[in-house]
Structure 1
Amino acid sequence: MTCRRRHLEAWSSLGLGRLGPSVLLSLGFILPALVASVPGNCRPPPELRTVQLLEQFRNKKTFSWKESVSYECRPGYSVNQHEIRHANCRSTGTWSLVEEYCTQMSCPDPGEFANGRFFQTDGNLFGSEMSFVCDEGFQLIGSSTSQCKVVPLQKTVHWSPEQPQCVVSCAKPVVSNGSPTTISSHYTPRDTVTIQCNPGFHLTGPQTVTCSERGSWEPELPTCKKEFLSCQSLQLGGDILKCDPDRQRVKTALEVYKMSLEIEKLELELESMKKNHVKGHVSAEIPDPERDRPIKQ
């Protein structure tokens, strides 16, 4: 009853008091329903997978009754003819229905992949991927994967990055106790490398080799062999053990070397003795004037 009295008092203040109580009571129930039916605003329209709002509508937060928005295909999607569809804000605060009407675009068919094979996740459709593998004896030059992507300015799609190539290649040159002076991720025909040995090893064979059209190194890769010092040029000490691993031969070499030193010493002594003997003989033959002078009486 309290609510009804308030309505009656309000209508009296508006000059509606001349209406009978029963009429006023009926209006008390009808007017709230009329107010509720007044058109309201719409929130932003729903997001769709293949279509999107035109740019001028994307940042707007509210839309009034009967206001219209426009859609276009998202990047990577298209229709046979350029088409823009519209949605309207209804009095109920909802939007008239806009259906998905754009379809995925397709990248060009990749065709043959020479000297290798490729695998696709979803054919040539926008968003699909390809992975590439080369046949044995061939080297992949480029990216091993490619994706169907949008070209923004042209609103088309293409494979990116570009399809790689499988070319004849040579395996990385491996030389025990040595290595190439320059190292690359791949070697193709006419590439050359220079081999150097590690310290303590010497090169046997060609120092420079070339990758051939058959995928092999030509001439044949060299080898790096252990360097052994010549026993004839060794000084006494630990270095002689590097000359020959056979200890008996090392012992014999040491004895021979010791004897050669003793012989050399004897030769020097004999040479010195000869020089002293010659010097004494010459001194005996030269007359001494003071010694041979007669003594005066």
Structure 2
Amino acid sequence: ACVLPPPFQALELVSKPKPYYEVGEEITYKCKAGYDQLLGFLTIATCEPNHTWVPISDDACIRRKCTYLGGPKNGRVEYPNSSHVWGAQVHFICSDGFYLIGKPIVHCVLKGEYPEWDGKIPQCEKILCSPPPKIKDGKYTFSDIEVFEYMEAVTYSCDKIPGGEELSLVGQSELYCAGNGVWSSSPPECKVVRCPFPEVENGKQLSGFGKKFSYKATVVFECIQGFYMNGSNTVVCSSASTWDPPLPTCLKGYPNPTEGLFDDEFAKWIIVLIVLISLVGVAIIFLWLYRYFQRRKKGKADIRAQYNTYQKRSTTPAEQR
């Protein structure tokens, strides 16, 4: 006998299943709801003498599709799975300068025998902004415009107060329409910012000189010889009229107690070593030159002696005759 074949995702039995089947018995399958049958594929299985069923598979059925959805005006549609069968989804995206009204993602779901989309195609509306906020003691450009389109920008500036302190613009000076009714950031603020004179004991200023220090003024310091810096050498005047980070201090000595001593002693020993190496080098050169000339002198003397001996030998027989 054959036992019932395993269940399928797309197929189901037409008749009620039995515990076992005799050899030669047949079972008939059909496609489940939401599937269509393909021609050429078996949906009938027979119990073979070896107690197996003629092979069948889910390939006989394919999922039904939802209607194809196009992109909205001033936007586009994307199919992540490159399909619109039930179980799939579509994404709607608006072009730059437009925002989405509706569901950005719609799913193809099965409702009864046939699939349907669970939402409609959204709309892409133009991004517009109302005028940006006004600020005290300041203004912005294009203040006569009532409606701003996407990425249109305004620039803030502070008013000049006759005979008064100079106002500093704290915050972003330029704002642009970033979304529907949404500006890129909060408006800036016009306020008097004055940081105290940046004086560091046992230190000196390298840059950022001035009599008054307003917002974002930057000063760079260094310590005089024999002192080391504790803190940052660069400070900036913040909106709170304080230096950020706080002014550094110049402490006497070196960050490492042995650093100064090491530097001085090391330099002295380096100089001594260089002098000794130079003296030894000069001595070696003189010694080499001395030996060279001694050998040369000795060589000339030997040649002269040999020559004299040769002369004596060559003249002796003639003298005897």
TM-score (norm. length: structure 2)? 0.35
- Relative to its length, the structure with more helix (as a share) is 1
Larger radius of gyration: 1
TM-score (norm. length: structure 1)? 0.38
